Amino acid sequence: MAAPTLSRVAFLSLITLLIVVAGIMIKQYFPHVARTTPASSPTPSTVPTREMGTRFEYNPKKELGTAGLTSFNNDEPPFSLQLPDGWYYNEDRTNWERLVVFSPNQVKKDFQYRTVISVNITPSTRTLKQEVDTARIEIGKQAVHNVFLVDKAVKLKNYSAHILEYNLVREQDAKLLQEIAGEDGQLVHHVDVITVKDGYLIDISASSFEWAWKDTVADVEKAMNSFRFTE
């Protein structure tokens, strides 16, 4: 199975807009299946930390009692990921989010937006194939034209994984987005790289507006390619 590379070109024209999308195929890449990342600038309750090339280390045994992590198990697979230089690490995580980072504010015609990368870990009794089949159905219902830009098996640091890349439509701010970027201004580019390890589904995802994807795809690729399990 070849390692993926991120797609730079949008498939022109649905999850509602809290989702940011990133379409991916990377040289050594592994996407996530995050479906709750905002394309507009998030407003966390805590002040995010700007990182300068920091490597994020997730160790579940050290996370006990972390605010916001209401869904948590201390036998989750530990991992690390190199944060993009100058991006923000958000400590305000909830539910199954284990990492949320986003780019500095970008502006187009006074509209602020960010690219988001996240890692979710959830319990699973399924095989990778079963998780991929389920994701295809759930995401396919929302993807533009029910089409995946990329749908293929990949290797994630010696682990079998699968990448799904697709476009969604953001309904929020529809008129404004069309004024900013034309008829396809509502398109969000989304990438999910999913794998299964030790009874958990790991979903690494990235998303941004389609018209902004090219501006941060290099950072997304570099971060995703740096992902590794530490045990």
Interval 11-54: pLDDT, tens: 222 222 233 333 332 223 233 333 333 344 444 444 456 655 68
- Flag whether 17 is in a domain: no
- Flag whether 15 is in a domain: no
Instruction: For residue 195, give its domain range.
Output: 55-229
DSSP string, 14-29: ---TT--B-----TT-
- Flag whether 111 is in a domain: yes
Q: How far is CA 59 from the centre of its chain?
A: 20
* pLDDT at res. 161: 94
102/118 Cα distance (integer angstroms): 9
* pLDDT at res. 182: 79
Comparing C-alpha atoms, which of 88, 108, 82 is closest to residue 177? 108
Residue 9: burial class (beta carbons within 10 Å; 0-12, 13-18, 19+): exposed
Interval 178-202: pLDDT, tens: 777 777 778 889 999 999 999 999 9
16/30 Cα distance (integer angstroms): 24
Single-letter amino acid, residue 217? V
* pLDDT at res. 136: 93
- Flag whether 8 is in a domain: no
With vertex at residue 185, the alpha carbon angle to CA 180 and CA 191, rounded to the nearest 5 degrees, is 135
- pTM for this one? 0.75
With vertex at residue 32, the alpha carbon angle to CA 31 and CA 38, rounded to the nearest 5 degrees, is 115
Residue 194 maps to which CATH number?
Answer: 3.40.1000.10
Q: Backbone phi, then psi, for 180, in 5-degree steps?
A: -75, -45
Number of domains in the chain: 1
Q: Which two tokens stand for residue 16?
A: 């509602």
Where the chain has pLDDT below 50, the residues are 1, 4, 8-47, 67
* pLDDT at res. 120: 93
The residue written with tokens 């870990």 in the block is 121
- Flag whether 34 is in a domain: no
| Residue-level length of the chain | 231
3-state secondary structure at position 74? coil
Q: Backbone phi, then psi, for 225, in 5-degree steps?
A: -70, -15
- Flag whether 31 is in a domain: no
